[in-house]
Structure 1
Amino acid sequence: MEFFAELAGSMLDNMERHLLGFLVPKDRLFALWLLSSGLIAWFVYRSVKGTRHAEDRTFLRFLFPGRVWSHPSAWLDLRYFVFNSIFGKFLLIGITAASTAFGYRLFAGGVAFTSVVGQGDLSLWAEFAISVSFMFFAMLVSDFLAWFCHWLQHKSPLLWQFHKVHHSAEVMHPVSNYREHPVDNLLYMSVIGAGYGVMMALVVRTLGYLPGMPMLLGMPVLMLLFNLAGYNLRHSHVWLRWPGKLSMIFPSPAHHHVHHSSHPDHLDKNFAFMFPIWDVVFRTYHMPEDNRDVKFGIGEGNAEDLTSCLRLYWVPFRDAWRVIRAQAKGEPFSMSKPAAPEKLPRTHEVHPAE
């Protein structure tokens, strides 16, 4: 009985930390990130207000449109958020730290991690320059690892069965960011953690120590700026892209909207998290002028099994087993993605993405 009491207590503590994330800067729903996204959304609202495309007369209706909040998918996201806050995080405890330590030890040549964190014997300005450079380098490497892992999640029939949970959202709001299968997160965190550890080991062997990063609110300044620049609009109905080729350099909400779109022109595009340049380099970048063809989800008929919290958990395991059996028999297996442009008719009205 003591074991179950401790388990229940841990689950409640985990749920409390998850649900009070708006007080924690490292959480995706931290109040400051939500407020900054709301402010950017207000500027978007002002830019479209009074045009023939404006469907919402007040900012409140623009921010919380009925077409989003009357959709069952929006409320499934909220239920799954609570459900996953209790159960889903147990699988991920320590994964990132363990994989980072593994990657570091593999390439560090026996140099203990605790003995290399700090500053070198350099001037203050030189150390600051190295610190800023290391921050950009580390974020760039991490984003490449994220791009590669994300690419695998889309290209592997087995991994897609778990990743499609995230793409099954047919409307999006900031909590949709949490519609993730634990196995999907397990792979993501393991790959990035191990790769980051290797990167740290190589930096230590090059410099003789591991530089720090400029930090604010407990995170690298670059990550803080990224969160302030409309992070929570990435999973929302508010379409915002930067003008010209800026979207190839700086991530915009529209970059991720296209990634979530089920239109055939948008499939398997825009895998990068912070730096769209990886998509440009590997030719997975796509940015339309407007959102007329952006339609969230995994295509008609493909999300019918993913309609409850429990099904979001177990259906991927069922489908993954089907993939394994099909591959063992040498049979083809459908990735459950739209296959031809004619399956999704083009629309011609521009509005915040549905």
Structure 2
Amino acid sequence: MQMEIDTPLNLFLNGSNRIFWGYLIASVLIASVWYIRKDRSISLSRLKAYWLNADSKLDYRYFLVNWVFKKLLILPVLLSGQTVALWTLDNLNAVAEPLFLPWYYRDIVLCYTLSLFVIGDFSRYWLHRWMHTNRWLWKFHQVHHSPESLNPLTFYRLHPVEIILFALRHAIVAGVITGIFIFCFGARVDLYTVLGGNVFVVILFSFTGNLRHSHIRLGYGRWLEHLLVSPAQHQTHHHPESMQKNLGSVLALWDLLFGTLKLSQDAPLNQKFGLGVGKRQNFDSVTKIIINPFFDIYTIIRRKLK
């Protein structure tokens, strides 16, 4: 059997990834309709200015660096969801007998799929919020907010420390939920998927997910934006004056419940992104993206010790 070599290209071929080619095509179609409705012209010069500006070129380079960090340096040594699931199951078995509840298989799969989606999205909200409110973690997360021009690969402009934290979050949440379900229902645990991704994520998010990091101001309307985060809402989150708003990933419900919701209709109309005037230069190269957050933290510590 020939072993498949994992490459960055596979991210475009796997339906469980945001930049799967099908989602990108869907985003292009939606963006084209949006432009036509706005009576805007699409010219080669405008496309070149957007896709080949300094921020976009940096995102393309850092996309490869991000993949190297994940595949070669981070993921092999991180805690896995399977390890957490076994640990959870062992601890539950130590205090009680497995329940083996007689639910229908379809109900188990539906409940498991929905639990992973809802609890996973809830945990992403709080970790993302923590990245903004904790002065130390913000030094790493500001890397993601540094570009003043957004494109789908801006999603991958994350500092390695943030990559580690979100990978651990996923392993813990998925592992604990899986362990609990195995304890309750035995080995009859499965996931409803579409193109390899959680069916709820694919249906509710994937086809417009790539427009979140773009200049396509696509809103969902006031009612729906109380439930789902629209591309326009996430673009508002990248506005220098609104970075504490719209911290949710898929569900806007968490922003509504915890006071961080901002509807796209209530946000400034100008497409202004980044950290503010003069701050982009702190993260305008791959080296600066990786090193400067540590220098910022060192500076804070040094000032405190004086």
TM-score of the superposed pair, with normalisation by structure 1: 0.75
Q: Label 1:111 to 1:209 Cα distance change in 2 as closer, same or farther (>3 A).
A: farther
**How many residue pairs end up in the alignment?**
295
Deviation per CA, 1:125-166: give whole Å up to 9, x if none: x32233223212211100111111111111111111111111
Q: Label 1:26 to 1:60 Cα distance change in 2 as closer, same or farther (>3 A).
A: farther
Q: In the alignment, which of 150, 154, 172 is matched to residue 150 of structure 2?
A: 172
Deviation per CA, 1:228-278: give whole Å up to 9, x if none: 431110111100111122012123111211111102xx1211111111101
Instruction: Choose 199-208 or 37-46, whichever is displaced more.
Output: 199-208
Identity of aligned residues (%): 27
RMSD of aligned alpha carbons: 2.6
Unpaired stretches in structure 1, ≥5 consecutive residues: 1-12, 50-55, 113-118, 332-354
Rounded to whole Å, the distance in 1 between the matches of 2:240 and 2:174 is: 32
Give the aligned partner of residue 41 of structure 2.
57
Instruction: Choose 190-199 or 83-92, whichever is displaced more.
Output: 83-92
Give the aligned partner of residue 85 of structure 2.
104
Give the C-alpha shift of residue 311 in structure 1. Answer: 1.0
Give the aligned partner of residue 81 of structure 1.
63
Give the aligned partner of residue 340 of structure 1.
none
Unpaired stretches in structure 2, ≥5 consecutive residues: 94-99
Give the aligned partner of residue 26 of structure 1.
16
Rounded to whole Å, the distance in 1 between the matches of 2:120 and 2:200 is: 13
For the Cα contact (< 8 Å) 1:89–1:182, is it kept in 2? no
Q: In the alignment, which of 71, 85, 88 is matched to residue 53 of structure 2?
A: 71
Q: Label 1:94 to 1:148 Cα distance change in 2 as closer, same or farther (>3 A).
A: farther
Rounded to whole Å, the distance in 1 between the matches of 2:237 and 2:164 is: 21
Rounded to whole Å, the distance in 2 between the matches of 1:167 and 1:254 is: 15
Rounded to whole Å, the distance in 2 between the matches of 1:29 and 1:196 is: 22
Give the aligned partner of residue 210 of structure 2.
232
For the Cα contact (< 8 Å) 1:256–1:270, is it kept in 2? yes
Give the aligned partner of residue 284 of structure 2.
307
Rounded to whole Å, the distance in 2 between the matches of 1:23 and 1:200 is: 27
Instruction: Choose 312-321 or 190-199, whichever is displaced more.
Output: 190-199
For the Cα contact (< 8 Å) 2:35–2:41, is it kept in 1? no
Give the aligned partner of residue 6 of structure 1.
none
Letter in 2 for 1:316: P
Deviation per CA, 1:162-184: give whole Å up to 9, x if none: 11111101100111111111111
Give the aligned partner of residue 132 of structure 2.
154
Give the C-alpha shift of residue 209 in structure 1. Answer: 4.9
Rounded to whole Å, the distance in 2 between the matches of 1:19 and 1:106 is: 34
Instruction: Choose 298-307 or 20-29, whichever is displaced more.
Output: 20-29
Q: Secondary structure at the match of 1:244?
A: coil
Q: In the alignment, which of 224, 230, 254 is matched to residue 232 of structure 2?
A: 254
Q: Secondary structure at the match of 2:264?
A: coil
2:195 is the alignment partner of 1:217: yes
Deviation per CA, 1:270-319: give whole Å up to 9, x if none: 11111110111111111131651442101112222211111111111211
Q: Secondary structure at the match of 1:284?
A: coil
